[in-house]
């Protein structure tokens, strides 16, 4: 498991910028949503396969430290595997976040914590605590694999999962994308058009639909395969309905 430092500029990057830099990067299922908006998560994965039991989650929490993200495959969507006590302990440990592919509880507390916590939802009923924990192993959150020590970068849009080499390869491009979009947005707020900033307008592959004389509509319909004699026999309203929407 890698323990090398994560480059400090990563804390300024959005998940969207990283995804734009490399469309092949792993994105965790969109159903994983944060309890509190506006928080950014950057850290290394401590993985837990919970098998619908609290003991593996507790063991993973005990192994986690500053900068770690506890990543839990709950193994159930009928019971919660994390609540306010585990989450508060995670804050005390200086952890970077928690991702639960399953359910949590104690929503009122979780939404107040400064710790990014993601889950599929909430339920008041908790699982039992009887299973012997298994040390860190790769886990699957939906169809996305997360391995111990991999880097998770999350915000309100979602969570990107990267190896160190994937981050190194995407970092410069992601920074450039984010800086470019920030500059464009600043110009728009200052009164410039988006199209001026991006260097062009959207090209319409079809000519504009005429709005007036019937002969124009006849030509328009004929250009699109309707026999001219049939087009000439139709009313303007019928031609507009067929090719141009409602009058």
Instruction: Give pTM, 2 decimals.
Output: 0.79
Residues 38 and 105 placed together within one structural domain of the fold: yes
Average pLDDT, the chain: 89
Question: Is 194 inside any structural domain?
Answer: no
Residue with tokens 């998560």: 41
Per-residue pLDDT at 202 exceeds 90: no
Q: Is residue 196 part of a domain?
A: no
Q: Please write the tens of the pLDDT for every residue from 112-138.
A: 999 999 999 999 999 999 998 887 899
The whole-number average pLDDT for the span 143-160 is 98
Overall number of domains in the chain: 2
Domain containing 74 equals 8-183
pLDDT at 227 over 90: no
Residue 2 resides in a domain: no
Name which of 48-57, 209-218, 219-228 the model is least confident about.
209-218
* 89 within a domain of the structure (yes/no): yes
Asked if residue 146 and residue 209 are part of one domain, the reply reads no
- Is residue 159 in some structural domain? yes
pLDDT score for 247: 33
């Amino acid at each position: 498991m890698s323990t090398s430092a994560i480059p400090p500029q990563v804390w300024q990057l959005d998940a969207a910028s990283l995804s734009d830099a490399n469309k092949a990067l792993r994105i965790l299922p969109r159903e994983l949503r944060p309890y509190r908006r506006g928080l950014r998560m950057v850290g290394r994965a401590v993985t837990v396969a919970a098998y619908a039991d609290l003991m593996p989650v507790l063991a993973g929490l005990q192994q986690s430290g500053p900068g770690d993200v506890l990543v839990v495959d709950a193994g159930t969507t009928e019971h919660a595997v994390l609540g306010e006590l585990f989450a508060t302990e995670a804050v005390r440990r200086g952890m970077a976040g928690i991702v639960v592919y399953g359910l949590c509880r104690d929503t009122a507390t979780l939404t107040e914590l400064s710790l990014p916590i993601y889950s599929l939802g909430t339920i008041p009923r908790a699982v039992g605590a009887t299973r012997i924990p298994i040390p860190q192993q790769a886990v699957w959150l939906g169809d996305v694999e997360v391995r111990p020590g991999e880097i998770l970068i999350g915000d309100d849009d979602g969570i990107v999962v990267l190896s160190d080499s994937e981050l190194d390869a995407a970092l410069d491009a992601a920074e450039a994308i984010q800086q470019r979009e920030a500059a464009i947005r600043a110009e728009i707020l200052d009164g410039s058009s988006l199209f001026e900033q991006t260097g062009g307008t959207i090209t319409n592959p079809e000519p504009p639909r005429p709005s007036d004389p019937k002969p124009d509509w006849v030509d328009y319909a004929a250009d699109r395969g309707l026999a001219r004699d049939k087009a000439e026999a139709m009313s303007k309203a019928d031609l507009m309905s067929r090719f141009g929407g409602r009058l």
